[in-house]
Structure 1
Amino acid sequence: MDEAYEPETSTSETSSTLSTSTKSTASTYEPTFNTPELSPSELLDIEEEMYYLMEEYMKQEIINISSPNFYKNFIKDITTEFYAYWLDCGICHEDDYDDIEDIVEQLLEVYFDICQIPLRSNYDTCTTNNMDKPFEIITNKINYLNSIPQAKQKSIEWYTFRYNLITASNLWKVFASEAQRNSLIYDKCKPLDAFKSEQHNTHTQGTLHWGVKYEPVSINIYEHMYQTKVGDFGCIPHKTYKFIGASPDGINIDPNNIEKYGRMVEIKNIFNREITGVPKQEYWIQTQIQMETCDLDECDFVETRIKEFENSNAFYEDTTHEYKGVILYFVHRMNMTNQANLSVNEMNTPVYKYMPLDVSLTNNKEEIDTWITQTKERHSEDLILFNTIYWYMDEFSCVLIKRNPQWFESAVPRIKELWDIVLKERVEGYSHRAAKKKIKPEVVVHANPDATDTTHIIKNLPLSNHICLVKLSS
């Protein structure tokens, strides 16, 4: 880490910071709440006790700040403990719980500020520390990331590199259920050839492919909205922990945009769930790993919902949506050049060409048709136009996530523990990590010996809403 970057206060250092802060303000500090039974100094003692309890709670629970429910649980647990204690001491009444909860919430905000613990996420994406940091530091970090060698995508070197680390996108499983941990260990223990085959997915109808297809669209919209430029950096290894890596969707590289310069961008193209503006636990962990790996302090978490028009007429007639555009979906020609230079997987991979936003936003049919024609002609030797896709942006959300060094400090031992298991079981065996397959009971049909008619008994027939026909032998 560059010397000019001072790390934020760790949980092990908060005690002295907090104690000094509260004592230095004791003579002028007004208690957050008032009660005639207690003097101001006694109220300050109570508040200091609250801060102490918050500190102890954070030491034990900092790893769980990744959960969207962390703050709610934090406030509830501290409130419940003090409410029960004060009720016993006669300091409060049974109907004072909500008031105590308000006090805890106010003090928690002060505590996080004193200890320099960032909020989990923030809608105000203009809130930034970048202007406080020397421009050269961010530039040097970006230049360093650009200098990291990147293997050709899908090459043996590319697969080997990714095989020997846990990437940010699936590292959340380290902190999930035992089944998810087993799944991650099992996947990382598989031989390299099996790993390579699973990294290539040409299914174009799934949610995974939808995200890949529309990621460039979302990046272009983000760039246009914030008047910035986002750069691509490939897969980055962590400087210290070589078993951790990250492939950020992008980093703001426009030095003229001071607020965004050096800020990472994580894109999620939502297909079938609600956009709430609250990052899911796995996404929050992913962004933290990306920031730690790239040694950057902020990430814009962007969620978009892109939908497709039924046809070109609907596209041109639409006047509601600000952002819309065209994607040309090409497939490779089966010619000698392609067969000589491309693998089977590459031949089967769709190729998308995206119309620039400055063309699509005009909604000028002549300009758009000209771009489509020129793009088809430019690639006619190697590609065939399979489909023309007309899209529009239905929903957009951008929240700021700040780097949380305290969380990462507590997370590293658990990540390393899992990686050590991977290395060990690659040698000693990992088959016991495989998911248990459910054995379906055999459907049995036999005649009822006690019946006088043709009654048959069917056993183990699975429950279903569908009609099931069973052929009975005569």
Structure 2
Amino acid sequence: MEQLSEEWFAARCGKVTASKICDVVAKTRSGWAASRINYMAQLLVERLTGMKEEGYTNAAMQWGVDTEPQARDAYMFMTDNDVVQVGFINHPIIEMSGASPDGLIADDGLVEIKCPNTATHINTFRTGKIDKKYMDQMYWQMACTEREWCDFVSFDPRLPEEYQLFVKRVEIDSGRVKELEEGVIQFNQELLVMIEELKQAAA
């Protein structure tokens, strides 16, 4: 299954995905964040219609899609790791959830590739820090694929060669994975309640 294909979109329709896991557990001081409410509404529509809600693509997002193959090649050259591309992988236990990692490495690894704007890449390269939302994305991918680590890659070919590629290995955090899994279970339960309420309203 090729990512971004019709088959891939159909496989993930209505399901919690790794790229949105941060929204599932997003909170403010007063309660759940608006991003969680909006994501729940999106998945409710997808589950009722069986159709993916239309998103948007800006220039930065398209740059990321277009540059990812080059980033993957650079990563493989630097690490000597083979990357096996995959489609959507369902969580082994939790229904209506899964992930689409950028690649599988050997028997227990993954790779997650980002091709951000240059300022963001430079900041990551300089500090070595990975945004929390990407950490959770990788933890969820590891949970879905039952793997132990993920190489985070940031790539920008517009820079001098020595600054183009950043790689940092992230080991699985079982405690955080458990929190995310509990969050997804609760999220899906709330969605089921909403669907049941709709059925009752239509009866």
1:397 partnered with 2:170: no
Q: 1:164 aligns with which of 14, 33, 39?
A: 14
Cα deviation for residue 219 of structure 1 reads: 0.4
Pairs within 5 Å for 1:335-414: 394-414=163-183
Cα deviation for residue 210 of structure 1 reads: 1.2
Q: 1:187 to 1:160 in 2, by over 3 A?
A: same
Q: More relative contact order in 1 or in 2 (CA 8 Å, sep 6+)?
A: 2
How many pairs are equivalent? 187
Aligned residue type for 2:72 = I
Gaps of 5+ in 1: 1-149, 254-260, 309-319, 323-393, 430-474
Cα deviation for residue 169 of structure 1 reads: 0.6
Aligned residue type for 1:282 = K
Q: Is the CA contact (8 Å cut-off) linking 2:42 and 2:53 kept in structure 1?
A: no
Q: Which residue matches 1:236?
A: 89
1:345-384 Cα distance to aligned partner (Å, 9 max, x none): xxxxxxxxxxxxxxxxxxxxxxxxxxxxxxxxxxxxxxxx
Cα deviation for residue 421 of structure 1 reads: 1.4
Pairs within 5 Å for 1:67-466: 150=1, 154-155=5-6, 158-177=8-27, 178-191=33-46, 195-196=51-52, 198-199=54-55, 201=56, 203=57, 206-253=59-106, 262-271=108-117, 272-273=119-120, 274-275=123-124, 276-307=127-158, 321=161, 394-428=163-197
1:200-224 Cα distance to aligned partner (Å, 9 max, x none): x5x5x52111111111111000011
Distance in 1 of aligned mates of 2:92 and 2:196: 26
1:147-188 Cα distance to aligned partner (Å, 9 max, x none): xxx489543x54343123201110111221321211111111
Distance in 1 of aligned mates of 2:182 and 2:143: 15
Q: Which residue matches 1:389?
A: none
Distance in 1 of aligned mates of 2:50 and 2:60: 23
Q: Which moved more, 1:272-281 or 1:179-188?
A: 272-281
Aligned residue type for 2:13 = Y
Distance in 2 of aligned mates of 1:196 and 1:173: 17
Gaps of 5+ in 2: 28-32, 199-203
Q: Tell me the TM-score normalized by structure 2.
A: 0.81
RMSD, aligned CA: 2.5
Max radius of gyration: which structure? 1
Query: What SS class does the counterpart of residue 243 from structure 1 fall into?
Result: coil
The structure in which a higher percent of residues are helix is: 2
Query: What SS class does the counterpart of residue 52 from structure 2 fall into?
Result: helix
Q: Which moved more, 1:184-193 or 1:170-179?
A: 184-193
Q: Which residue matches 1:70?
A: none
Q: Which residue matches 2:30?
A: none
Q: 1:396 to 1:152 in 2, by over 3 A?
A: closer
1:281-338 Cα distance to aligned partner (Å, 9 max, x none): 1100000011111111011111112328xxxxxxxxxxx637xxxxxxxxxxxxxxxx
Distance in 2 of aligned mates of 1:243 and 1:179: 21
Distance in 2 of aligned mates of 1:169 and 1:215: 16
